[in-house]
Structure 1
Amino acid sequence: MEPPHLITLQAVLDGLDVLLSQKEHPRRCKLQVLDLRNTGQNFWSIWSGYMDHMYSSSLTAPVPEDRSRTKQPLAPLEVFIEMNLKEWAMDEFLTYLMRWAEQRKGSIHLCCKKLKIFGMPVENIMKVLSMVQLDCIQDVEVNQNWHLSSLATFAPLLGQMSNVQRLILSASKEQEQHVVVQFTSQFLKLHHLRDLYLESPFFLSGRLDQMLRCLMSPLDNLTITHCLLTESDLTHLSQCPRISQLKGLDLSGITLADFSPELLQVLLEQVADTLQVLDLNQCEIMDSQIEAILPALSHCSQLRSISMCGNLLSMAAMEKLLRHTSGLPRLSQEFYPAPLESNSSQAVLSEERLAQLRAELLEILRDLGRPRTIWLNSIFFASYGYNEYSHLEIIEYIPA
């Protein structure tokens, strides 16, 4: 139902009540799942087994053959829903469904694969999630800056989401040690976590090792952005065995200027065999860091995308970077800052200076001798929150 239609929902649930009121069900009645999610045009392919995200045991297990020809006890019905918890209260569709489910706890299991939280108070979230089979949840997105007290309240629920594969969390700037331990210890229960995205996790500054020790499975993607990490944090990250198979690494907004240049080199060496996407935007990376990581970067044979917008690189460092990555066979997306020599009192490069830069970079690409397209970020004085990809100039070389 798109958009959700309350009267239609009421009619469906009234019909289900007739079935649920029976202590036994007829031999031919095999209803196991009610799916109320917005599947769009993919509905039939999902239920034909083509969509890999539908692998609940109830959906993949075959229905037992009825050999006794007697009536069987009615198993709990699984009701699948989408949960987008916004603002202060749920919409009338979800409110009605939750009330219906609460009155029938023994007859149904309320299941949710994807949970998104935007702005709802944690007390309301706790009430809603008390009705849900938490081990069904595979994808969690919390897009609000919680105080650590709210994070501490939510943490035990996160630990019960034992099948979570993807976690996105925007966190607060507070740093209370007992809350950090309470939150990071929940990762010990997340044996299937593959993708971890942490936006502004200031509470992990100086304590990143506490979380890394609790990771139970190798990560595919790791994002830690716009916070203050220490040199010891980066050291622990580069030594963590759970990141050795990373496909995506994003450290945008992490200041690296004061760290030993070799730390970033060691980190890239750890992930060189598998890394496909590398984002190091606004890290205050300078020539010394670039010099250190070039050998490791040139061995990232699976790399498809690299982004270094908002950093402080000279034209000499840019040229070395382009030359060391020219042999990477899969690299197709490259985003770089305008070189330091282009900096002026203006926030954006002038057309004249941009034309000069384009000519210089085209000459480098021509000398390297292979087709290549790069994007140049032409804005200076960027601050947190700006879009690194809003002022891009394309520079493309195609051999004649």
Structure 2
Amino acid sequence: MSVRTPPRLLDLAGMHLLRDDDLAFSALEQLPVELFPPLFTEAFNGRHTEILKAMVQAWPFAHLPLGSLIDLPHVGPLQAVLEALDVLFVQKVCARRCKLRVLDLRDTGHNFWSMWSGACGRTPVAEPRSMTKQHVAPLKVFIDLSLKKRTLDNFLTYLLRWVEQRKASIHLCCKKLKIVSMPMGNIVKVLSMVQLVCIQEVQVSCTWNLSTLATFAPFLGHMSNLQRCCLFPIQVSAFKKQEHDHVVQITSQFQRLGHLRDLHLESPSFLEGCLDQIIMCLKTTLDNLSITNCQLTESDLTHLSRCPNICQLKSLELNGVTLMDFNPELLQVLLEKVAATLQELYLDQCGIQDSQFEAILPSLSRSSQLRSFSLCGNILSMAVMEKLL
């Protein structure tokens, strides 16, 4: 027969407060810090909206990780939190106990709530109390954006409308942006409300024409803290010489990305003959470079092999880039430059032949960090494969 663990006094106190709204309101100013997170969780899950509003206005921490509590499509508790913030914005001062500076709508707050619930042994320390009211600085609202529908969902529509009406009081921050399928008009609407300097990762998986990509490019250029950029697949249709201005508008944005470490371009047909416009203007040393399923010229590969920003590459992927007619020394020079750091090399479906592969074998033998290497789909004889082994 199992023995049930009796509830803690802390839990009993919280349940008692939730049964008596008037008592809860009057007790908030003197409520122990330890009671705020478990009581807030119970109030949020139980949809005690009035208590939620009061707790937000007296929140004793700088950070409120709300994302892990939100149960879509039920947005009632979230609306209560936003309405409570509106009261603070109207007052233009924080209640003497409120320390809230960051509202986090990402699903990243499990550790915070488990610490205060007793599931974790170490409890974080709250901000010290202030006995005076403080002016409200712009509140940072963090969210991971995944734009993958023709229209915005109800949650995102409600949030964006709320942010748009309070631009002076809200900084909408996004570290990870993913665009799968959405009209450019909606993308522009969303990005115009986001603090673009906060974005660290962007992934675009849309089949855009050149003019559409050029429309997105200025937003990309304003992501000055971007570390990882994935554009795939970019299938540019009906490329014409008169579209050169679009290419310049796209490639010129990369010189503004002063923290870029990972660059992944799939099917970037606009790059043929102008790869140097991207890689030669980079301000940081890349860790990972992937250019796949497109045509490059010998001039492109020459610029790549001479680029100082690839000398510490850990991963290089050129799958689907035809190298059959290229001077084998170009690939040899490229691999020599990255031999000390390269850990992953992918050269699938490149049309590499025996003479070219034999030229890069010495460089491969000096790649002491190499852990993953793929050559699928190339035209190689058994004799050359034996040399590799």
1:85 and 2:154 equivalent?
Answer: no
Judged with a 3 Å threshold, the aligned counterparts in structure 2 of structure 1 residues 188 and 74 are, in CA distance, closer, same or farther, namely: same
Structure 1 stretches of 5 or more lacking a match?
48-61, 323-400
Please point out which of 101, 110, 119 is paired with 1:32: 101
- Return 153-162 or 4-13, whichever deviates more: 4-13
Is the Cα–Cα contact under 8 Å of residues 99 and 127 in structure 2 kept in the other structure? no
Distance in 2, Cα, partners of 1:6 & 1:29: 23
Cα displacement (A) at 1:41:
4.4
Structure 2 stretches of 5 or more lacking a match?
1-69, 117-124
Is the Cα–Cα contact under 8 Å of residues 6 and 92 in structure 1 kept in the other structure? no
Please point out which of 232, 235, 240 is paired with 1:172: 235
Q: Which amino acid aligns with 2:235?
A: S
1:271 matched to which residue of 2? 338
Q: CA-to-partner distance for each residue in 1:314-354, whole Å, 9 max, x for gaps?
A: 111111111xxxxxxxxxxxxxxxxxxxxxxxxxxxxxxxx
Cα displacement (A) at 1:66:
7.9
Distance in 2, Cα, partners of 1:153 & 1:235: 30
Distance in 1, Cα, partners of 2:298 & 2:221: 29
Please point out which of 263, 267, 285 is paired with 1:218: 285
Q: Which amino acid aligns with 1:14?
A: E
2:167 matched to which residue of 1? 105
Equivalent residues, number: 307
Is the Cα–Cα contact under 8 Å of residues 162 and 189 in structure 1 kept in the other structure? yes
Root-mean-square deviation (CA, aligned residues, Å) is: 2.2
Judged with a 3 Å threshold, the aligned counterparts in structure 2 of structure 1 residues 268 and 85 are, in CA distance, closer, same or farther, namely: same
1:6 matched to which residue of 2? 75
Cα displacement (A) at 1:45:
9.6
> Percent of aligned pairs with the same residue?
65
1:330 matched to which residue of 2? none
Cα displacement (A) at 1:21:
2.1
Q: Within 5 A, what are the aligned runs for 1:261-340?
A: 261-322=328-389
Q: Within 5 A, what are the aligned runs for 1:143-158?
A: 143-158=205-220
Please point out which of 275, 296, 301 is paired with 1:208: 275
Q: CA-to-partner distance for each residue in 1:71-109, whole Å, 9 max, x for gaps?
A: 221001101111111131111111110011111111111
1:23 and 2:92 equivalent?
Answer: yes
Q: Within 5 A, what are the aligned runs for 1:373-392?
A: none
1:163 matched to which residue of 2? 225
Larger proportion of helix = 2
Please point out which of 161, 177, 181 is paired with 1:115: 177
- Normalising by structure 2, report the TM-score: 0.75
Q: Which amino acid aligns with 2:371?
A: R
Cα displacement (A) at 1:26:
2.7
1:140 and 2:202 equivalent?
Answer: yes
Distance in 2, Cα, partners of 1:145 & 1:93: 26
Any idea what SS the aligned residue of 1:21 has?
helix
Is the Cα–Cα contact under 8 Å of residues 178 and 204 in structure 2 kept in the other structure? yes
Any idea what SS the aligned residue of 2:194 has?
coil
Q: CA-to-partner distance for each residue in 1:273-320, whole Å, 9 max, x for gaps?
A: 111110111111111111000000011111111011111111111111
Cα displacement (A) at 1:7:
2.2
Please point out which of 65, 73, 77 is paired with 2:135: 73
Distance in 2, Cα, partners of 1:154 & 1:46: 42
Any idea what SS the aligned residue of 2:162 has?
helix
- Normalising by structure 1, report the TM-score: 0.73
Distance in 1, Cα, partners of 2:88 & 2:188: 30
Q: If you compute each CA radius of gyration, which structure gives the higher value, 1 or 2?
A: 2
Is the Cα–Cα contact under 8 Å of residues 361 and 388 in structure 2 kept in the other structure? yes
Q: Which amino acid aligns with 2:332?
A: Q
Is the Cα–Cα contact under 8 Å of residues 5 and 93 in structure 1 kept in the other structure? no
Distance in 2, Cα, partners of 1:5 & 1:37: 16
Please point out which of 296, 302, 307 is paired with 1:235: 302
